[in-house]
Structure 1
């Protein structure tokens, strides 16, 4: 069994115990938390649209003014260790949700893969797939509800190369 010191921080710390840098690194950069979602009043189910916050940079797949986002967007929700458990609109793949539920991160998460591009390669992100928030009213937003694809499975690891022994 691995020594706890050998395990990554997200497997040994709660969200509350994380440093600011650890907390920020949990974000995989998928951009789904920046999408406009609609809640069914009868069922409570959340439907994501392809409409992103006015500050969302679709090409970079991140907030264009992250430090000032809450001043500029009145309904921007700052994720905290205290509110993550109650945010039912966070994607099922969200690292904040996963860590709270004591689950591991997916293969494509940059902390696991070591590559910030795997979230895009795995088809998890909304990079280049959104339209900016405008003056759409609810009926217009309802037409923008999008069934986002499931993540791609982890790529197969190449089989080890066989070499012949020299005689």
Structure 2
């Protein structure tokens, strides 16, 4: 008697472009690193353009992550408190989709979307591998839980004081 092998999970059998909306949404690991403010270090920035949003990074520029998070982020659950209205309430908020993933340069190396796009697979701490629970992600230190300040609580003129390296961590 031969055993029928289980089909591989959708993230191993489909490309990002082939996934349904539900499959796509489930790939979000919920780390909330995308909710962190990022700053580009360049020579051309002046006082007026310093905190302006951008949709690209030029050659020679460096992006820096901060531990300053969007005021809509629930820092315990690592979820947006106004998810369905987030792009209206925060016009700079980017909704990651199958159509724009190639142009979203600011996703951290641990982001599951980025990892799959780069052929690195889903991380061992991902909630899909833990019955939908985020505890393995938090325990591995891959979320923003316990590491952030809200943008409504800080003076962004002093953003340099909040630049951090931990969002660049990727453990597997």
Shift of 1:130: 0.9
**Residue of 63, 69, 76 corresponding to 1:52:** 69
Partner residue in 2 for 1:11: 12
Distance 2:17 2:171 in 1: 31
- Judged with a 3 Å threshold, the aligned counterparts in structure 2 of structure 1 residues 152 and 98 are, in CA distance, closer, same or farther, namely closer
* Alpha-carbon contact 2:40-2:62 (below 8 Å) kept: yes
Partner residue in 2 for 1:65: 82
Runs of 4+ off more than 6 Å: none
Distance 2:147 2:90 in 1: 21
* Alpha-carbon contact 2:109-2:170 (below 8 Å) kept: no
Gaps of 5+ in 2: 44-59
The structure with the largest helix share of the pair is 2
Greater mean deviation of Cα atoms: 140-149 or 32-41: 140-149
Partner secondary structure for residue 65 of structure 2: strand
- Judged with a 3 Å threshold, the aligned counterparts in structure 2 of structure 1 residues 112 and 65 are, in CA distance, closer, same or farther, namely same
Distance 1:44 1:12 in 2: 36
Higher CA-based Rg: 1
Distance 1:105 1:111 in 2: 9
**Residue of 57, 77, 102 corresponding to 2:94:** 77
* Alpha-carbon contact 2:66-2:164 (below 8 Å) kept: yes
Instruction: Using structure 2 for the length normalisation, give the TM-score.
Output: 0.79
Distance 1:5 1:69 in 2: 38
Shift of 1:112: 2.2
CA RMSD of aligned residues (A): 2.1
Partner secondary structure for residue 143 of structure 1: helix
Query: How many residues are aligned here?
Result: 150
